[in-house]
A and B are shown apart, each in its own frame.
Chain A
Amino acid sequence: MDKYKVIEVKESIFADNDKDADKLRAQLKEQGTFLLNLMSSPGSGKTTTLKAVLERIKDKINVGVMEADIDSDVDAAAIQDIGVRSIQLHTGGMCHLDADMTRQGINEFGTDDLDMVVLENVGNLVCPAEFDTGAVKNAMILSVPEGHDKPLKYPLVFTVCDILIINKIDVMPYFDFDMAKVEEYAHMRNPDLKIFPISAKTGEGVDALCDWLLEQVAEWKK
């Protein structure tokens, strides 16, 4: 047995990523760029929500979008259509972005002149929640058709987020979605979570979300 060494590691699997994330946040603070990490399931309306938000704030601040997907560039193209700079990141089959991939994206994108960058993470409620991307704030979208029980099923993502955007409230009459329940379940996981019910399609509630974002950007640049 002598030839074997036992190395006691006792550190988190994510220790290196957490360090990379802190480094990236320091870089972003230096250059005055607010990075928002946006997470959700596939089909919750991330890109549609982003478009609704960007239409309202693109003349007020310089903003860019980094789209992370396993493949394709349909999302980046959709954002460019409304006149906002965007870049598509491919995760090479991985189900999430980590801090190092995000940093590469930020540097490739050229973000010095941007007040805010939105990182549209891979559509998934599990893995992205485990990896700190280096973002200043984390947001998630839960759409009405997904159901109000998601905070019970995917607790971690609700714990790591600063805001919860509840999208597609225009179709609420057709679903058994209980807004009071989702708030209760989400606050059980995270009492500080701010909740924004919106419809990206009709525009309801989007202004309040924009106001919050603009406040956060101003706060970060202080």
Chain B
Amino acid sequence: MHELGIVNYVVKQVEKLAVENELTRVESVTLEFGEVSGVVPSYLVKYWDWYVKKEEHAALLGDSVLKYETLPAITWCDNCKGQYPTVQYGKTCPYCGSGETWLLKGQEMNIKEIVAE
């Protein structure tokens, strides 16, 4: 259900960009997700394939493929001023053991590019 909301948003943005760029048929849309964005890409693809076949979207997006790339999550340690991979070590800094750590990146949800006619 969460992924469906995102698909709905991506379709809206792509339709807007299609008008701006005079696109008539979209071949593929590539998204980028941070590792800790909480999105399950396989659900996105499943919902995408269903959603773009709907009458109001089919002409532009009906045959399009949704692709995705993952962006790494990086955490900053306020104590030792270091950075480390979030997914591997979580909230605790592997260098100094501090819990005073903040996520630098990894929650992104971006549209990277559109390939279209």
Contact = CB atoms under 8 A, between A and B. Distances in A.
Interface string A1-19: 0011111111111111100
Interface in A11-61: 11-17
Interface residues of A, number: 25
Given A127-B1, A156-B38, A11 B110 contact: yes
Contacts of A5: 21, 23, 115-117
A185 to B, nearest CB: 10
Nearest to B6: A13
A15 B13 contact: yes
Nearest to A152: B91
A13 B16 CA distance: 12
A6 B111 CA distance: 12
A41 to B, nearest CB: 14
B117 A4 contact: yes
Nearest to A131: B5
Contact of B5 (A9, A16, A96, A188): A96
A94 interface: yes
Contact of B109 (A9, A13, A126): A13
A210 interface: no
A94 B82 CA distance: 41
A95 interface: yes
Contacts of B109: 12-14, 130
Interface string B74-97: 000000000000000001000000
Nearest to B9: A13
Contacts of A94: 4-5, 8
Nearest to B3: A127
Contacts of A17: 9
B2 A95 contact: yes
Contacts of B4: 94-95
B110 A13 contact: yes
B54 to A, nearest CB: 13
Contacts of B116: 4-5, 7
14 contacts: A4-B27, A7-B114, A8-B113, A9-B13, A9-B110, A10-B111, A10-B113, A13-B6, A13-B109, A15-B13, A126-B2, A126-B38, A127-B2, A131-B5
Interface of A: 3-17, 94-96, 98, 126-127, 130-131, 156, 188
Interface of B: 1-2, 4-6, 8-10, 12-13, 16-17, 21, 23, 27, 31, 38, 91, 99, 107-117
